[in-house]
């Protein structure tokens, strides 16, 4: 039985993210493995320090796995840590780097195995977008190939503005059957079993073919 998948809109590890306590409790996790890969060019250890402070308040420890370049993702020791984790969290603003580092590597295979074995996998902001296929490309608002943990689903994080107005071109570029989820900061779209739910301080919206739909339009199949 695969574990929960949490797609966080951004603002991770802050006061509005009360769902993190629920995710910890759902798998009785005492440790969170943080992969700062998507923050490799943004002082990744600052991300880890923020995560450690946040989860300490929730009664859990943080273990950083410094997968910052592709050679790190080929390391069997790093893969072993990820495979044994009960909660894996990815964050950072460089989804293209995250994809290029993890794709077809032992660390990515370990993450998929951990998730399918019952671990929580959480991705925040653009790192969360990279977990899916297709992936939202923040550089231009189009779509590109993602890691494919869930297919036919794209995540538009940090969706604080009116999506139909500010991301009209993104909606137009989506394939007719593509499901696009827009998630605000301190908010998560969580897949548990085959059911999705929205949690947190903000709003989740779902679009198919440019038309707004409900959460039941979200795909529940994994790659």
Q: Which residue has the higher pLDDT, 42 or 223?
A: 42
Q: Which residue has the higher pLDDT, 166 or 25?
A: 25
Q: Rounded to an integer, what distance in angstroms lies between the CA atom of residue 124 and that of residue 17?
A: 11
Q: Which residue has the higher pLDDT, 218 or 140?
A: 218
Say yes or no to pLDDT of 213 above 90. yes
What share of the chain in percent tops pLDDT 70? 96
Whole-number pLDDT of residue 209? 83
The answer to the question of residue 131 being in a domain is: yes
Say yes or no to pLDDT of 211 above 70. yes
Q: Rounded to an integer, what distance in angstroms lies between the CA atom of residue 35 and that of residue 63?
A: 9
Tell me the β-bridge partners of 89: 34, 122
The answer to the question of residue 78 being in a domain is: yes
Say yes or no to pLDDT of 221 above 70. no
The answer to the question of residue 182 being in a domain is: yes
Residues 178, 134 contacting (CB under 8 angstroms)? yes
Reported confidence tier of residue 140, pLDDT bands at 50, 70, 90: confident
- Distance in Å from the first CA to the final CA of the chain: 15
Question: Which residue range forms the structural domain that includes residue 139?
Answer: 5-217
Whole-number pLDDT of residue 4? 98
Say yes or no to pLDDT of 33 above 90. yes
Mean pLDDT over the full length of the chain: 93
Give pLDDT tens digits for 79-127.
999 999 999 999 999 999 999 999 999 999 999 999 999 999 999 999 9
The answer to the question of residue 126 being in a domain is: yes
Whole-number pLDDT of residue 166? 56
The answer to the question of residue 222 being in a domain is: no
**For 57-144, where are the E strands, in sequence order?**
61-64, 87-90, 120-124, 135-136, 143-144
Q: Rounded to an integer, what distance in angstroms lies between the CA atom of residue 133 and that of residue 182?
A: 15
Compute CA 55 distance to the chain's CA centroid, rounded to the nearest angstrom: 17
**The Cα angle at residue 90 between residues 85 and 93, in degrees rounded to 5:** 170
Say which residues have a Cβ less than 8 Å from residue 38's Cβ, sequence separation at least 6.
90, 91, 92, 93, 94, 95, 97, 98, 125, 126, 127, 130
The domain tally of the chain equals 1
Give pLDDT tens digits for 149-201.
999 999 999 988 766 555 667 777 778 888 999 999 999 999 999 999 999 99
| Domain of residue 20, CATH code | 3.40.50.880
């Amino acid at each position: 039985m695969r574990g929960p998948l949490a797609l966080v809109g951004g603002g991770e590890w802050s006061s509005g993210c009360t769902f993190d306590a629920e995710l910890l409790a759902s798998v009785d996790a005492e440790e969170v493995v943080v992969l700062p890969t998507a923050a490799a060019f943004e002082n990744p250890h600052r991300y880890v320090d923020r995560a450690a402070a946040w989860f300490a308040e929730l009664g859990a420890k943080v273990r950083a796995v410094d997968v910052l370049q592709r050679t790190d993702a080929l390391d069997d020791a790093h893969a072993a840590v990820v495979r044994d984790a009960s909660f894996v969290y990815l964050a950072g603003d460089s989804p293209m780097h995250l994809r290029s580092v993890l794709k077809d590597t032992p660390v990515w295979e370990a993450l998929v195995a951990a998730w399918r074995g019952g671990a929580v996998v959480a991705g925040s902001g653009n790192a969360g977008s990279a977990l899916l296929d297709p992936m939202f490309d923040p550089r231009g608002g189009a779509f590109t190939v993602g890691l494919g943990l869930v297919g036919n689903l794209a995540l538009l994080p940090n969706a604080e503005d009116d999506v139909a107005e500010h991301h009209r071109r993104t909606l137009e570029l989506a394939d007719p059957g593509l499901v696009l989820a827009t998630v605000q900061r301190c908010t998560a779209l969580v897949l548990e079993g085959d059911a999705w739910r929205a949690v947190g301080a903000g709003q989740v919206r779902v679009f198919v073919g440019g038309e707004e739909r409900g959460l039941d339009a979200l795909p529940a199949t994994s790659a």
